[in-house]
Structure 1
Amino acid sequence: MAKSPAPSRASPTLTFETLLAQRVNGPVCGVDEAGRGPWAGPVSAGAVILNPDDLPPGIDDSKALTEKRRDELAIQIKSRAVAWGVGFASVEEIDELNILKATGLAMCRAIEQLAVTPVAALVDGNYRFALPCEVQTVVKGDSLSLSIAAASILAKTARDRLMIELDDRHPGYGFARHKGYNAPIHQAALHSLGPCPAHRRTWAPIRALLAQD
């Protein structure tokens, strides 16, 4: 007996944005981050206020898109959104503050870049970051909310570009390929070259290597 095809995942919508905007009576942005888990590089965040009458087709969770499609959508989002912003928190800030607080800092910086001040933000996940506006969390928001999905695309593409620049600055680690995440080539490079200034020194694997030195 042939298997039935798996049900396709529903695309994100503007339902959360519409309901929240009606309640707060003002603009609502979607916010998401990229790069909380890597061993190297900054954490980034995107913030987007979409125009419901001019939505780029195909916006989705950045992880569900190819690199080429993310890059295409990032251009369209920036040209057609009401407002957009990208913020970073550096490796030094991650090590000093911890990754959670650094992520919140990157989100604040992204919101501060918006040309229109939002009254509220939809944030992916279940952690309520301290942001300069009201916050509503949405678990799996990047697959449910178009604004959060758009923010995830901007955060991911911005961080990927920066990691490619870091690959030129610190050759040998493969940053352009794995973007600072745990990968066999990254582990091998760390053991042969040791950590570089782009590495998060409070991360356990990096801390262990520094302790050996």
Structure 2
Amino acid sequence: MTGKAPTLRYERSFLAEGHRFLAGCDEVGRGALAGPVTVGLVVIDITAAKGLRGVRDSKLLSAADREALVPKIQRWALAYGVGHATAGEIDATGLMAALRAAGNRAWAQASRTVRPDAVILDGNHNWLAPSAQGSLFEDVETREISCDAPVHTRIKADLQCLSVAAASVLAKVERDHLMVEFSRRYPGYGWEINKGYATAGHRAAIDGLGPSREHRRTWRLGTGTGMSVPAVEIGG
């Protein structure tokens, strides 16, 4: 395990604003060629939350460490949720709208237990809150479950904020499980290993087998030319 452990220091600063229930939120799968984008959301009571040993941004942990942390995070959190948006939704509406849909699905799950007062979102762009023009996923269900709490973006929150790091672990483990399941339905792409990301072997397999139903068909998939994959952080 590497990297300085995230803390609750930033989360506790929200006490001064009168907040008590705070959600940390992070996504995984943004840069993959196949499979969903997945968003984790973890809610804590910042008047009572303690530290949680071993939690880091999911990219800094081994698969075994992440798996072992899931039940600990679930017991530690006041509430949590993990939401997905499929490859088909990404193709139909674009990546940002798909992230918003996945995030609001996670929000809806957590909100059944407690409604957060505010959200810390990893990164510098608020893709979680509904846009002023309305989401491309705007239907009755989505309008009812959309995040309506203040969203505070923070660069490298997954490295600094314990609630966000915990959310990243839940999202990563659940998405990895999905990709292993998909690899059984669509063998040959190596998803049990590459989890849908753009490895040379994955691109070569697409050249040979063609894209599956779980591929993002509006993206450049094989080794030829086409639409480019959006620039993302490695492992995002």
The answer on 1:201 being equivalent to 2:203 is no
The answer on 1:42 being equivalent to 2:42 is no
Distance (whole Å) between structure 2 residues aligned to residue 207 and residue 21 of structure 1:
51
Alignment match of 2:201 (pick from 157, 182, 185): 185
- Percent identity, aligned pairs only, is 40
Number of matched pairs: 204
The aligned counterpart of 1:58 is 54
Larger radius of gyration: 1
- For residues 118-197 of structure 1, what are the structure 2 equivalents within 5 Å? 118-129=116-127, 130=129, 131-197=147-213
Alpha-carbon offset, residue 155 of structure 1 = 0.7
One-letter amino acid matched to 1:48: V
| Residue pair 1:199, 1:206 contacting (<8 A) in 2 also | no
The answer on 1:86 being equivalent to 2:64 is no
TM-score by length of 1: 0.89
| Residue pair 2:85, 2:98 contacting (<8 A) in 1 also | yes
Distance (whole Å) between structure 2 residues aligned to residue 21 and residue 116 of structure 1:
17
Distance (whole Å) between structure 1 residues aligned to residue 68 and residue 18 of structure 2:
32
One-letter amino acid matched to 1:128: N
The aligned counterpart of 1:27 is 21
TM-score by length of 2: 0.81
- For residues 90-105 of structure 1, what are the structure 2 equivalents within 5 Å? 90-105=86-101
Where does structure 1 lack aligned partners over 5 or more consecutive residues? 1-7
One-letter amino acid matched to 1:70: R
Which range moved further: 59-68 or 126-135? 126-135
The structure whose residues are more often helix, as a share, is 1
Alignment match of 2:66 (pick from 64, 67, 70): 70
Q: Per-residue CA shift, 1:83-128, capped at 9, x if unaligned? A: 1110001111111111111112111111111121101100000001
SS at match of 2:221: helix
